[in-house]
A and B are shown apart, each in its own frame.
Chain A
Amino acid sequence: MPKTRMGSGKAIEMSRAEIKADIEKGVEAAVENGGVEPLSRTEIDRLVELHCLPARFIGLERGKELVTSFDGGSIKLKRLNISIGRIADAQIFERVLCADSAEFAHVDYSFKPVKPIIDSEQIEFKQALQVTVAPMFYGAMPNLSLYYEPVGSEPNPSTVMMEEGDIGKARRAIERTVEMGVKDMVFVSRKMHEAGADGINFDTVGSAGEGDFLASLKATERLKEMYPDICIEMGMASEFVLGMHGDMEYKGVNLAGLYPHEQVKLAEEAGVTIFGPVVNVEVNKSCPWNLARAVTFYKACREASSIPIHANVGMGVGGVPMSEVPPIDATTRTSVAMAEIARMDGL
């Protein structure tokens, strides 16, 4: 009996017929949720085959490998309780993990808190760029939640709506934070570009709702006007844009509820260089179901795009179980499926 897992990571056994049925249901779920095209019979059969392979670790044919970019790069190893500085962290990504890119980031991983320490951040980033070869991003989240009370100056829209029932007030607060976010994102990105960044990574975009996405699109536009050659990677927070405002548009398109194949078109229009879609994992569904659903969405995103797509995969997104210690059997099946079926440009 083939061994697989639940979206939670729990090990389970499923028959080939059960795996096939779950994969078909996962594809159907993507079609139903996002209105995307289903996978072909050949693609579904290949997904079934990948899940029935007995090997724990599977891989791609030579020449079919994908490149990788990351979020939170130079603060990842600190999280493992390793006492390490950010430059050494980036060098380990480059020379030990042999990553295709590295990323430099502030420990808070948001644009707003970087602003007051920008000079120190520039200097250390410049040092990192002088002792590395791989392309290096500067990454942070728009994280518009930081502009709301109690840490920010604006009334929290959720509180305003739930306690006061004042939708207009909540919406106005969201609209103001968009402009605040754009200002900080452009300021920090400009400074880090001037410090030598190969690219800027807007990560976890949309975590605070569609205002977060709008701020990232506007910041991209402004940065592209200033530096036409700047590389901007935009990685999303979840599979659809949360409608916290409900009536927020970019170039005439309402942002609430957009799925990856729709998000990428706006990102491209704004000037994004590399787009990173997300598909969330359901922990009470199997890995075959989750991976089939993710691959269906990502494939649709790639087909809608003319810029490179780096699929978000790991710890609860893109078909990888929701766990801080993702199992290699699941991550390698995900990687192969993303390369062979979704035909991603990177992870």
Chain B
Amino acid sequence: MGGMRTAGDLVLRMQMTRAMRLDEAKKYVADKLGVTVEDLSDNIKMDKIRRKRGLGRIRPAVNEVTDLQAKANIAELLDIKINSVEKFGF
């Protein structure tokens, strides 16, 4: 789906944490982000959203949220627990 270029990682997280089928997972993520399902795979739109919300981007600026902090923001956005954030995060 495009991973961090889009919202592929976020959709997969909903399959992994709640065993959601694909359509349900996409709708859940789209609703949380306030976008359409089609927007989830638009890398231009998603790049801006990811930067604004601190969800991690392919090419982050030096002062931008990355890695574990980005995962903590993803967990909060999607209302899920991310194991590495719970164990080593904030």
* A residues neighboring B (CB under 8 Å): 62-63, 65-69, 94-95, 97-101, 126, 129-135, 193-199, 229, 231, 273-274, 306-308, 344-346
Contact = CB atoms under 8 A, between A and B. Distances in A.
B22 A346 contact: yes
A308 B15 contact: yes
Contacts of B79: none
Contacts of A198: 13, 16, 82-84
Please list the 5 inter-chain residue pairs (A to B) with the smallest Cβ-Cβ separation, ordered nearest first. A196-B84, A133-B56, A100-B8, A63-B38, A345-B22
B4 A130 contact: no
Contacts of B36: 63
A68 B8 contact: yes
B68 interface: yes
B22 A98 contact: no
A192 to B, nearest CB: 10
Contacts of B56: 133
B81 A67 contact: no
A65 to B, nearest CB: 4
26 contacts: A63-B37, A66-B22, A67-B8, A67-B11, A67-B22, A94-B3, A95-B58, A98-B5, A98-B6, A101-B3, A129-B68, A129-B84, A130-B84, A130-B88, A133-B55, A133-B66, A133-B71, A135-B82, A198-B13, A198-B83, A229-B81, A273-B16, A306-B21, A308-B15, A308-B25, A346-B12
Given A95-B4, A100-B8, A133 B74 contact: yes
Contact of A67 (B12, B17, B42): B12
Given A126-B84, A196-B83, A229-B17, 13 more contacts: A63-B37, A65-B2, A65-B8, A130-B67, A133-B74, A135-B9, A135-B12, A135-B16, A308-B15, A308-B19, A344-B22, A345-B25, A346-B22
Contacts of B71: 133
A133 B4 CA distance: 8
B48 to A, nearest CB: 17
Contacts of A101: 3, 9, 12
A100 B22 CA distance: 13
Contact of B11 (A100, A129, A130): A100
Given A199-B16, A229-B81, A62 B5 contact: no
Contacts of B41: 62-63, 65
B19 A98 contact: no
A100 B16 contact: no
Contacts of A66: 1, 22
Nearest to B13: A135
Contact of B1 (A100, A133, A195, A307): A100
